[in-house]
Amino acid sequence: MYALVTGASSGIGKAYATILARDYQHDLLLVSNQEQELKAVAKELSEQYGVKALPLYKNLADQNAAEELHRWCEENGIEVDILINNAGMFFWQPLVDLPPQKILTMLNLHMTTLAMLCRFFGEDMCRRRKGWILNMSSMTAWITIPGIQCYNSTKAFVYSFSKSLWYEMKPKGVTR
């Protein structure tokens, strides 16, 4: 069994991966779009804590990223019992000054990929009647601030989605 941590190359994602390796001796599948940093984190955690730490370079903002990641796990015999959706991006800019592709990238990363990872890996966990999902939101989910309208709105989605998902999946053995 593996813990899948997105955004694991730095920050909070790296901290989650470190805790899972150090305190729980859990094997890890670490995913990020920062390839060199990700490889270094995987090597460090594997050597320091004696766990398997597999780095997988992937742009999770791509439209089909969740399905591709799930299929990769199936093809490589990786069974995920912990899913930590931590990958994210942040920018501070008025909406009318943002390139449309930058908006779509954030929406895909924070909402579409997160929801679809929960869908695909959640189905596996429900079938096994065991699993754990953590979706990272932000305190900005409750704050209205000009310049971060896309960020705080997507984090509000994550918060609401995660609460609903918990009620759906708890009776099936999947919790947070």
Which positions are catalytic?
151
Q: Confirm if 135 and 121 have CB atoms less than 8 A apart.
A: no
Alpha-carbon gap, residue 142 to 70, rounded angstroms: 31
Q: Is 170 helix (H, G, I), strand (E, B) or coil?
A: helix
Angle (CA) 163 167 172, round 5°: 135
DSSP 95: G
Q: Confirm if 112 and 157 have CB atoms less than 8 A apart.
A: no
Say how many residues make up the chain: 176
Q: Confirm if 82 and 8 have CB atoms less than 8 A apart.
A: no
Q: Confirm if 61 and 109 have CB atoms less than 8 A apart.
A: yes
